[in-house]
């Protein structure tokens, strides 16, 4: 098949994503010279000071580290986190997994840009984000902070965030690595083989570092193969610096993130956060005296920090050569509008019986809004990723104001719902809160930081809590039509009631504009276009075993849909799935080779009656490999928004590098000679178009 005539819209525009990323323009030769000159003036004591945080408690949201006025070195001022600046008030964006559901890399770049700008405006210079731990199991308490169960998807979104934010501040992708169970995070060991590590659990970190120039990385609390991540040479030295050429610094995760003095420093964990404990003067001096460390390792870690300070032209009040932005940028109109756009694009329509949605606003309609969560500011987790905006839209008020004269009545979770039959439709807002899932903050840390103590932690089960299920059942029993809006940060099992509701939307934790976004989707101002970044099983038993008290967990090549494919499980809603108020057809797949890539083009047509968007997804299956291969892997996606009847040509580039497997025996990547199927469609469960290519005798040919 020949390629379509028109130049395609790119599914992923790498140049546009990199735009303005300060790290990518650094003159490393110059910085090396200048760093050497500064290092030459430094005493051992000054170097020791450079490799640790300054105090356990943040000041106005800023965690300080290093810095020396006499040398003209400003301190690091680190700020959380993945859904907005945790320093004073800030724009609360939808949580990362919600933004991931947009499958819109440019949107994520712009969100990173806005968060970076707000962090800089609050005086920060390092953004402790993005969280890019792969969602190994949807029960992970911090699922909402990360992007997805797929490494390619996580890599694209993480890269986009890093590139956007690094217009203003350094980023710190975290937690390196395999931090994907919360309750036992301070003790557990993630066991993994070298192939799964490189192919599944690290590629997204690699993208952020190699393609995004992430200037720092935060190590994880947990162990990997029995060794704490903050002292794990395989991760910090061999892979991060050796294989990827990382030039930044590694800081520890916070309390209990640095477990030792010598093993940590020797492995390359550069900066102890949030304060001196293992890297306190006496500990360092003892370790030197005992010959466990050398002055050289202190010098090395201090140098990595100072290298980035010079590279980023850091001063007390500027970073990346830019003066601190006016605090007015915080929650400015533009950022709030972006939070709205992200929330709108994140909402996933999972069920729409008889096309009952969109609702026609106006006097003819009566709506019952049901459930306490409809009148609650449900921003998600209250751990380190918590953000405090000045205003949060709630579903109830947003529906009322968008209803255009329709009757809207509110029923909280505790009242009798038998009157629901009087209304045309009942919108039940159900789901989870920070009490059900989130970061688990130990009491000691909560006290030090004055953060409100959150229950959080992992979810042992994926169903809704009983009172929420009971609410849905009571609504089903009385109402003519029930639309359930789910809030939460990951997969929720809906099997016991989903067949008896008319509509189902996954609204995540939608940030401060989430209520307005929901109302706009319900009334058809926008067609929902979110797609699931996590498979929703019918039953938890379809997934890999999950025990939230595990102290050892095995990792392999099969998280998420890889596992489900392998075990031939029919899920409730597959990875990448989502409906809209219009329909799309994908046709005319054409493929050709260009250098070390395969170019795939398809025509995408809006076949419905209104404007809307879809996400075209490309998966690759390797058919006759000599090693185990999973059934398919996502290798490209592009979000396309079209008017009714409009058609556009969409172009994917699949790099040969992305087709390789990691040959543990040979200790490297191999592009294997075999048949590759390039499969395109609108979800992992719906891939109607396939192009076959063979790679034989180092040549590619179609067929
Ligand atoms: C979390 C990190 C966070 C840090 C600082 C830790 O407990 O794991 O993600 O950046 O606290 O707040």
Helix (H) or strand (E) holding 487: strand 482-487
Sort 228 into a burial class: Cβ within 10 Å, 0-12 / 13-18 / 19+: buried
Is the CB of 185 inside a 6 Å radius of any atom of ligand 1? no
3-state secondary structure of 42: coil
Mutate to test the pocket of ligand 1, among 128, 129, 131, 457 (most ligand atoms within 8 A of CB): 128
Is the CB of 204 inside a 6 Å radius of any atom of ligand 1? no
Residue nearest to atom 8 of ligand 1 (CA): 253
Q: Where are the beta strands (DSSP E) in 214-263?
A: 216-218, 223-224, 227-228, 249-251
Q: Are strands 612-622 and 675-681 parallel, antiparallel or unpaired?
A: antiparallel
d(CA 243, CA 3): 37
Residue nearest to atom 9 of ligand 1 (CA): 384
Closest-lying ligand 1 atom to the alpha carbon of residue 128: 10
State the number of CA atoms in the 13 A half-sphere of 35 facing the CB.
24
Q: Residue 455: what pLDDT?
A: 73
Q: Which DSSP category does 24 fall into? A: G
Q: Residue 440: what pLDDT?
A: 85
Show the CA angle centred on residue 649, arms to residues 644 and 652, nearest 5°: 130
Catalytic residue among 68, 104, 253, 372: 253
Q: Which of 657, 548, 92, 671 is nearest to 343 (CA)?
A: 92
Closest-lying ligand 1 atom to the alpha carbon of residue 174: 9
Spacing, Cα 128 to ligand 1 middle (Å): 8
Show the CA angle centred on residue 385, arms to residues 384 and 390, nearest 5°: 115
Is the CB of 145 inside a 6 Å radius of any atom of ligand 1? no
Q: What pTM did the predictor assign?
A: 0.98
Spacing, Cα 144 to ligand 1 middle (Å): 14
Query: By the 8 A CB rule, do 395 and 452 touch?
Result: no
Spacing, Cα 131 to ligand 1 middle (Å): 10
Is the CB of 253 inside a 6 Å radius of any atom of ligand 1? yes
Is the CB of 254 inside a 6 Å radius of any atom of ligand 1? yes
Query: By the 8 A CB rule, do 570 and 495 touch?
Result: no
Q: Residue 616: what pLDDT?
A: 98
Q: Which of 344, 439, 339 is nearest to 391 (CA)?
A: 339
Query: By the 8 A CB rule, do 11 and 652 touch?
Result: yes
Closest-lying ligand 1 atom to the alpha carbon of residue 129: 10
Mutate to test the pocket of ligand 1, among 131, 272, 386, 439 (most ligand atoms within 8 A of CB): 439
Residue nearest to atom 3 of ligand 1 (CA): 384
Is the CB of 384 inside a 6 Å radius of any atom of ligand 1? yes
Spacing, Cα 455 to ligand 1 middle (Å): 16
Is the CB of 80 inside a 6 Å radius of any atom of ligand 1? yes
Phi (first) and psi of residue 55, to 5 degrees: -160, 150
Show the CA angle centred on residue 113, arms to residues 107 and 118, nearest 5°: 130
Show the CA angle centred on residue 136, arms to residues 131 and 140, nearest 5°: 70
Q: Residue 56: what pLDDT?
A: 93
Q: Residue 1: what pLDDT?
A: 37
Please state the separation of Cα 72 from the chain's center in Å: 36
Closest-lying ligand 1 atom to the alpha carbon of residue 274: 5
Alpha carbon of 135 to those of 42, 140, 143, 180, 530: distances in Å? 43, 7, 6, 7, 18
Phi (first) and psi of residue 457, to 5 degrees: 85, -175
Residue nearest to atom 11 of ligand 1 (CA): 254
Closest-lying ligand 1 atom to the alpha carbon of residue 441: 7
Spacing, Cα 268 to ligand 1 middle (Å): 19
Helix then strand then coil, in percent of the chain rounded to 5, is 30, 25, 45
Spacing, Cα 275 to ligand 1 middle (Å): 13
Phi (first) and psi of residue 255, to 5 degrees: -60, 130
Q: Which of 649, 622, 648 is nearest to 635 (CA)?
A: 622
Spacing, Cα 217 to ligand 1 middle (Å): 12
State the number of CA atoms in the 13 A half-sphere of 48 facing the CB.
19
d(CA 347, CA 486): 10
Q: Residue 255: what pLDDT?
A: 86
Q: Which of 50, 42, 74 is nearest to 284 (CA)?
A: 50
Radius of gyration of the chain (CA): 25
d(CA 80, CA 60): 12
Spacing, Cα 346 to ligand 1 middle (Å): 25
Is the CB of 157 inside a 6 Å radius of any atom of ligand 1? no
Closest-lying ligand 1 atom to the alpha carbon of residue 221: 8
pLDDT along the chain (703 residues), means of 10: 61 96 98 98 98 96 97 98 98 99 98 98 98 98 98 98 98 98 96 98 98 98 98 98 98 95 98 98 98 98 98 97 97 98 98 95 97 98 96 98 98 98 98 95 62 74 97 98 98 98 98 98 98 98 97 98 98 98 98 97 98 98 97 98 98 97 96 98 98 98 96
Closest-lying ligand 1 atom to the alpha carbon of residue 449: 12
Spacing, Cα 126 to ligand 1 middle (Å): 13
Spacing, Cα 213 to ligand 1 middle (Å): 21
End-to-end CA distance of the chain: 10
Spacing, Cα 80 to ligand 1 middle (Å): 7
Sort 575 into a burial class: Cβ within 10 Å, 0-12 / 13-18 / 19+: buried
Closest-lying ligand 1 atom to the alpha carbon of residue 255: 7
624 catalytic per annotation: no
Helix (H) or strand (E) holding 310: helix 295-311
C-alpha dihedral over 570, 574, 575, 577, to 10 degrees?
160
Is the CB of 174 inside a 6 Å radius of any atom of ligand 1? yes
Q: Where are the beta strands (DSSP E) in 15-95?
A: 63-65, 76-79
If one counts every other C-beta atom within 10 angstroms of the C-beta of residue 657, the result is 10
Residue nearest to atom 12 of ligand 1 (CA): 384
Residue nearest to atom 7 of ligand 1 (CA): 254
Spacing, Cα 253 to ligand 1 middle (Å): 6
Q: Where are the alpha helices (DSSP H) in 388-535?
A: 395-402, 443-449, 466-478, 495-498, 514-522
Closest-lying ligand 1 atom to the alpha carbon of residue 172: 10
Query: By the 8 A CB rule, do 559 and 149 touch?
Result: yes
Query: By the 8 A CB rule, do 223 and 189 touch?
Result: yes
């Amino acid at each position: 098949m020949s390629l379509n005539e028109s130049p395609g819209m790119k599914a992923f525009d790498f140049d546009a994503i990199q735009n303005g990323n300060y790290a990518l323009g650094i003159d490393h030769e110059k910085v090396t010279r200048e760093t050497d000159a500064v290092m030459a003036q430094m005493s051992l004591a000054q170097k020791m000071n450079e490799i640790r945080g300054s105090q356990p408690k943040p000041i106005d949201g800023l965690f300080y580290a290093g810095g020396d006025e006499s040398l003209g070195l400003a301190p690091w001022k680190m700020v959380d986190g993945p859904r907005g600046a945790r320093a004073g008030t800030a724009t609360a964006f939808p949580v990362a997994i919600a933004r991931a559901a947009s499958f819109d890399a440019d949107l994520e770049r712009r969100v990173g840009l806005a968060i970076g700008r707000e962090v800089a405006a609050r005086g920060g210079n390092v953004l402790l984000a993005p969280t890019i731990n792969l969602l190994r199991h949807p029960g992970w308490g911090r699922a909402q902070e990360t992007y997805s169960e797929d490494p390619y998807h996580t890599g694209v979104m993480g890269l986009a965030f890093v590139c956007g934010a690094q217009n203003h501040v350094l980023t710190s992708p975290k937690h390196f690595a395999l931090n994907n169970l919360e309750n036992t995070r301070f003790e557990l060991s993630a066991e993994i083989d070298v192939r799964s590590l490189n192919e599944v659990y690290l590629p997204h970190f690699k993208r952020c570092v190699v393609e995004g120039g992430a200037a720092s990385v935060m190590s994880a609390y947990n162990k990997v193969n029995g060794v704490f991540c903050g002292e794990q040479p395989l991760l910090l030295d061999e892979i991060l610096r050796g294989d990827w050429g990382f030039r930044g610094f590694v800081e520890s995760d916070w309390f209990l993130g640095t477990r030792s003095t010598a093993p940590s420093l020797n492995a390359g964990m550069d900066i102890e956060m949030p304060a001196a404990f293992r890297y306190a003067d006496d500990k360092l001096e003892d370790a030197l005296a005992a010959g466990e460390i050398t002055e050289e390792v202190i010098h090395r870690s201090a140098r990595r920090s100072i290298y980035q300070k010079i590279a980023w032209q850091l001063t007390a009040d500027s970073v990346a050569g830019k003066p601190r932005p006016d605090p007015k940028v915080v929650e400015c109109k533009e950022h709030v509008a972006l939070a709205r756009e992200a929330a709108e694009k994140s909402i996933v329509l999972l069920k729409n019986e008889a096309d009952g949605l969109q609702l026609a606003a106006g006097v003819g309609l009566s709506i019952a809004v049901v459930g306490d969560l409809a009148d609650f500011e449900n921003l998600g987790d209250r751990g380190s990723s918590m953000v405090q905006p000045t205003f949060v839209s709630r579903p109830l008020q947003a529906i009322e104001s968008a209803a255009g004269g329709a009757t809207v009545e509110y029923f909280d979770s505790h009242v009798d719902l038998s009157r629901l039959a009087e209304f045309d439709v009942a919108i039940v807002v159900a789901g989870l809160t920070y009490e059900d899932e989130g970061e688990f903050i130990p009491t000691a840390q909560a006290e030090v930081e004055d953060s409100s103590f959150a229950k959080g932690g992992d979810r042992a089960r994926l169903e809704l809590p009983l009172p929420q299920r009971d609410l849905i059942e009571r609504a089903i029993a009385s109402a003519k039509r029930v639309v359930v809006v789910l809030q939460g940060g990951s997969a929720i099992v809906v099997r016991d009631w989903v067949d008896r509701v008319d509509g189902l939307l996954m609204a995540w934790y939608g940030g401060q504009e989430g209520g307005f976004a929901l109302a706009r989707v319900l009334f058809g101002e926008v067609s929902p276009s979110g797609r699931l970044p996590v498979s929703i099983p019918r039953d938890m038993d379809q997934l890999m075993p999950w025990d939230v008290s595990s102290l050892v967990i095995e990792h392999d090549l099969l998280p998420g849909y890889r596992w489900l494919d392998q075990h031939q499980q029919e899920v409730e809603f597959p990875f990448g799935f989502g409906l809209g108020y219009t329909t799309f057809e994908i046709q005319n797949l054409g493929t050709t080779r260009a250098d070390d890539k395969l170019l795939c083009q398809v025509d995408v047509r809006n076949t419905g009656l209104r404007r809307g968007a879809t996400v075209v997804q490309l998966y690759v299956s390797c058919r006759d490999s000599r090693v185990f291969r999973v059934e398919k892997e996502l290798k490209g996606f592009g979000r396309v928004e079209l008017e009714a009847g409009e058609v556009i040509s969409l172009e994917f580039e699949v790099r040969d590098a992305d087709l390789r497997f990691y040959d543990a025996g040979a200790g490297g990547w191999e592009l294997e000679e075999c048949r590759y199927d390039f499969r395109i469609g609108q979800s992992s469960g719906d891939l109607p178009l396939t192009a076959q290519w063979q790679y034989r005798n180092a040549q590619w040919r179609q067929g």
